[in-house]
Amino acid sequence: MKDERVSTGIPEMDVLLGGGLERKVISQFYGDPGCGKSTLCQIAAVAVLRTGCSVVYFDPEGFSVERFRQVAGSDAEPLAERLFLYEPLDFDQQGLLLAESEKVLKRGKVGLFVVDTATVLYRAELSSGKEAQRKLARQVILLLGLSRRYDLPVLITNQVYMDVVRNVSAPLGGTILSHLSKAIVRIEVHEGYRRAVLEKHRSLPAGGSFDFEITGDGIRGVSRP
Ligand SMILES: Nc1ncnc2c1ncn2[C@@H]1O[C@H](COP(=O)(O)OP(=O)(O)OP(=O)(O)O)[C@@H](O)[C@H]1O
Ligand SMILES: [Mg+2]
């Protein structure tokens, strides 16, 4: 049987996810600003690029070439040749580019599809109410279709908002995004360290976690008493 999982480039994250990112589904990392979402995406992208596959990478916030260099090290230039980067400027353009990116997938050998942060442009459109929700749903369903047709793991990141009723910070995008993400990892910021917590998974109990620090070249797992 074909190995269904794709390494995130972080051994502790692979264990947390039951072996890595699952193909044909969307996995979601979410958390506060600066918790490490983009770093985790870049580490996963570099790990897949190192296997010889290509990566499609959406970054509506503007891709940090400098951070990519730090994470990829001396391989950065050759690896970047197989990184197909899209930087949409608004939510409608993001939808159009997601559809257009299928051209890259058709050429084959794409090992990972990243959208970091999937909801930042959605957030900017939220004042338009239901229409933004419908567009988000369309984009996520489109992504799911691509992941299935091309046997791909899709990794998205998501921001949080303050849910004043429950008095907790919750991921954006409502139930549609939570339902369509088959693995969800919450990244918490604690004094001096971060914690990745498995919030939802298809074949593992929720609640597993590991602690890490962000470092010059990526992240490092830390053990805490
Ligand atoms: N070279 C580095 N060495 C150590 N820490 C770094 C380095 N580069 C970035 N960081 C730290 O990483 C954190 C930002 O990580 P990252 O950009 O992955 O977070 P994010 O969750 O994507 O944030 P945002 O919500 O703003 O997109 C910051 O705390 C920053 O100080
Ligand atoms: Mg980021």
Q: The domain that contains 182 carries what CATH number?
A: 3.40.50.300
Neighbouring CB atoms inside 10 A of 190's CB total: 9
pLDDT tens digit string along 88-131? 999 999 999 999 999 999 998 999 999 999 999 999 998 877 79
Nearest alpha carbon, ligand 1 atom 3? 216
Q: Model confidence at 3, in pLDDT bands (50, 70, 90)?
A: low
108 C-alpha to center of ligand 1: Å?
32
Going across the sheet that includes 193-200, the strands are 83-86, 54-58, 110-115, 154-158, 26-31, 181-190, 193-200, 209-215, 218-222
Residue type, 54: S
Please tell me whether the overall predicted TM-score, pTM, comes out greater than 0.95 for this model: yes
Mean pLDDT in residue range 183-204: 97
Tell how strand 26-31 and strand 181-190 pair up.
parallel
Domain that holds residue 52: 5-222
State whether the beta carbon of 220 lies less than 6 angstroms from ligand 1: no
6 C-alpha to center of ligand 2: Å?
21
Q: Over pLDDT 70: what percentage of the chain?
A: 98
Which residue among 59, 65, 214, 219 has the greatest number of ligand 1 atoms within 8 angstroms of its CB, and so is best to mutate? 214
Residue 224 above 90 pLDDT? no
DSSP H or E run through 209: strand 209-215
How far apart CA 224 and CA 193 sit, in angstroms, is 10
DSSP H or E run through 170: strand 168-171
SS3 184: strand
DSSP H or E run through 139: helix 130-149
**157, 29 contact by CB (below 8 A):** yes
Ligand nearest to the CA of 187: 1
**215, 70 contact by CB (below 8 A):** no
**210, 55 contact by CB (below 8 A):** no
pLDDT at 128: 75
Mean pLDDT in residue range 163-188: 94
Ligand nearest to the CA of 31: 1
Domain count, the chain: 1
State whether the beta carbon of 104 lies less than 6 angstroms from ligand 1: no
How far apart CA 26 and CA 202 sit, in angstroms, is 11
DSSP H or E run through 46: helix 37-50
SS3 124: helix
Tokens 């498995």 label which residue?
A: 198
pLDDT at 171: 95
| Main-chain phi, psi angles of 120, to 5 degrees | -65, -40
